[in-house]
Structure 1
């Protein structure tokens, strides 16, 4: 949809926060290649269509929405001057399909400064080349994170695991979002600081030295040592004093960041020796932004790696895209189940793994064994919680009577002798109404005994209950398991 074209005033464009730091030449180029348009109430662009323009609102009210199923769901509404939308990823070019990621409409006559996507991309690359490189890296990192996080929807079908798993995924995802927001601010400040330095009376050699120091600082951040709280505090005090002595403003804020990045006074002395005294405070400020961006990108990497690990465990647990009957490593299955249930197990229950890693892989139905592990771990956690919530869950594997033993031992109150013979009966449960179906142990027994030709038994005294699963090491003559890919 096109609006009514109006004159473009550099003075008005300069009042928008995106452009307030631009020079008169830059503002002239914006007005020369962009335009001001007035839109009447209605749609401006539609989600999924080619992203041809970047919009910055001058006055009016804008509404952004996303398509969910067959409905458009409003995600944002604003009357703030300077809000922007549209072809915001044009600088990435053809590596990403350039379409509008949402729909935009206005609810009253609204004026926009409109910049063609090609011009927006050219200006970003020409005016802010370093920022574009940083943003490209951030964008593709976010894409990986979003791809991993989108797998959560497939995990909702895992029943009682979904709430705990969603919580586990949300923590690193939220950390990545927070770090991304902070990183965007730091990149903007870095651009401004670089612009100030570049506009100063500094020689090419001085600027080259500064860039070299930035590269070496980034390398140092990646190798930062882990300090004790006392060591970190002492180093912060020393760095603060050094920065104060050299005329660096807000030294008390910069020092903790430098300590986290592994920088010390010797490093600062090298910087002071490499740049002129007059440029030192500005150089330190710019390097502070460099360190912060490196630390934030490391935080994003750690968070997305954790998300990826959780999704990998979920895939292992659910056995997606794998043969139903195959040769499997029970330790991989146990680890994925424990990770999936970590939210439900909580911090008060200590998990101890006593694995015999020399045990061979066995023919099995992995997805169904994971269901057995889930039921037995869930029962153990419930038992420990009944006893007060503090206790131990021990998972042990061993070779016993030419069979593979998987044992789940908990420190709960135990199974009373009078009901021990009934716990594998269908619909028998000791849990309160609404908390158990009485089918978990029955299903587990059927999977172990009928499907795997093994056995499931229980030994219990107060404080020591053991559910023991025994599985054959070889398949029966009528079964042929597939080897894992």
Structure 2
């Protein structure tokens, strides 16, 4: 008979390994439960950008079961933003974190905006073997952001309306005055012409002396020397007034251009001149506007959004100077720096304290009195420049001397280069 098999007793090393495996299994189960219970969509991907796993929240967000997406590229699930997603993946493979916004069709058929935060997963040697993504539905935030943008634009236009009415009213007033003067002058000159024509009538012969006397009388009645001097001046002033009104109207058309969904080449100098024109009356009471524009190439951008940025910065500069209680100056300059254009808007206001400077781009933060500022202008301006155009909006300020906001924009628009290595 064979002796019964006996189990080899576990060594202390085996016991430790077994305990470690049990602990790891428990920890993995706990992590899996936490991930499944969370509201955030967790997406695991290979270095090539293919989905290796995702949780229930991701299934609900994208409307696809886990089994349906395994092995597929994440960018085929989104409707727009593929180049941005691929750029973000390339950044993660370089060892960085990246955030990208995408749009996809939700399970209810509506377009959903999603913010995806990507992070590299590396082994002990630093070798990246996967990518972890946390996706959040930001559709409601986008809708609210658009509403705030519109509210900010309406608020700015409301502040400009009275000034624009005054800007147009002034030239229209002296155009009207000159038109009435020219009407009266025309009537008087026609009366003189009628006398001249009567004197040329040979059917009613009169003496030469009497003719001279009638001419002197009619010319004395109209002050011919005065009319000879003032009529050309009135015509010139009228034409200047018409051109001034036309310039304001052109500026308003440029400023309020609805823009395009896509970025198109635009003249930033023209946009700045238009913005300066529509803000001049509002600003002129507190500051002198100095414009120094360099030759710029066409910039690929959404000019309507940038007009709003420039407006906010100029109006803020005027407010900063007004708070000092003394006249100041606002300087608007442009320049080219490599593949970027630079727009600087400087004021001679009181400057921004350090503790305030850290918050000026926070939504709804404002130091203005109630009813004068909503705290939306600068956050929206930074969003337009950075997220919308791939540029930067920075601020430099010295207390007691003033503030400069600097806008940098890529001439060729927001980068859309698709890195190699991410096939669909």
Q: Distance in 2 between matches of 1:363 and 1:281?
A: 69
Q: Distance in 2 between matches of 1:157 and 1:387?
A: 22
The answer (yes or no) to whether the contact 1:190–1:290 under 8 Å persists in 2 is no
| Correspondence list, 1:219-238, <5 A | none
Q: Does 1:373 align with 2:310?
A: yes
Of 399, 408, 412, the residue aligned with 1:470 is 408
* 1:157/1:373 CA distance change after superposition, 3 Å: closer
TM score, norm. by length of structure 1: 0.48
The equivalent of 1:433 in structure 2 is 370
| 2:390–2:413 Cα contact (<8 Å) kept | no
Looking at CA atoms only, which structure, 1 or 2, has the larger radius of gyration? 2
- What is the number of equivalent residue pairs in this alignment? 254
Alignment correspondent of 1:279: 215
Q: Structure 1 residues 320 and 451, CA, compared in 2 at 3 Å: closer, same or farther?
A: closer
The answer to whether the aligner puts 1:352 opposite 2:290 as a matched pair is yes
Hey, what does 1:177 align to over in structure 2?
Answer: 176
SS at match of 1:422: coil
1:341 to 279, 287, 293: 279
Query: In structure 2, how many angstroms separate the alpha carbons of the residues matched to 1:176 and 1:311?
Result: 16
Secondary structure of the residue that 1:341 maps to in structure 2?
helix
Match of 2:298 among 337, 340, 361: 361
Residue 406 of structure 1 pairs with residue 343 of structure 2: yes
Alpha-carbon distance between aligned partners in 2 of 1:419 and 1:323, rounded to the nearest angstrom? 34
1:10-38, CA deviations, whole angstroms, 9 ceiling, x for partnerless residues?
xxxxxxxxxxxxxxxxxxxxxxxxxxxxx
Q: Distance in 2 between matches of 1:438 and 1:397?
A: 26
Structure 2 residue aligned with 1:456: 393
Aligned residue for 1:220? Answer: none
Distance 1:406 1:157 in 2: 20
1:192 Cα deviation from its structure 2 partner: 2.3
Structure 1: state its 5+ residue gaps.
1-154, 205-274, 480-485
Residues 160, 314 of structure 1: alpha-carbon distance in 2 compared, 3 angstrom cutoff = same
- Over residues 102-141 of structure 1, what are the superposed CA-to-partner deviations in whole Å (9 max), with x where a residue is unaligned? xxxxxxxxxxxxxxxxxxxxxxxxxxxxxxxxxxxxxxxx
| 1:190 has 2:189 as partner | yes
Equivalents in 1 of 2:201, 2:348: separation in Å?
70
| Structure 2 CA distance for partners of 1:367 and 1:189, relative to 1, 3 Å | same
Cα distance, 1:325 vs structure 2: 2.6
- What RMSD, in angstroms, separates the aligned Cα atoms of the two structures? 2.9
Deviations 1:340-368 (A, max 9, x none): 000111154122223222x3221011111
Q: Within 5 Å, give how 1:66-465 maps onto structure 2.
A: 158-200=157-199, 279-280=215-216, 282-283=218-219, 285=222, 287-288=224-225, 289=227, 292-319=230-257, 325-357=263-295, 359-400=296-337, 402-462=339-399, 463-465=401-403
Q: SS at the partner of 1:445?
A: helix
**Aligned-residue offset at 1:389:** 3.5
Contact 2:335 2:342 in 1 (8 A): yes
For residue 475 of structure 1, report the CA deviation from its aligned partner. Answer: 2.8
Q: Is the 8 A contact 2:286 2:321 kept in 1?
A: no
The DSSP-based 3-state class of the residue aligned with 1:435 is: coil
Q: Deviations over 1:131-190 (max 9, x none)?
A: xxxxxxxxxxxxxxxxxxxxxxxx999332211111100001111122222222222222
What's the CA shift string for 1:169-222, capped at 9, x where partnerless? 000111112222222222222222322333337779xxxxxxxxxxxxxxxxxx
Alpha-carbon distance, 1:324 to partner: 5.9
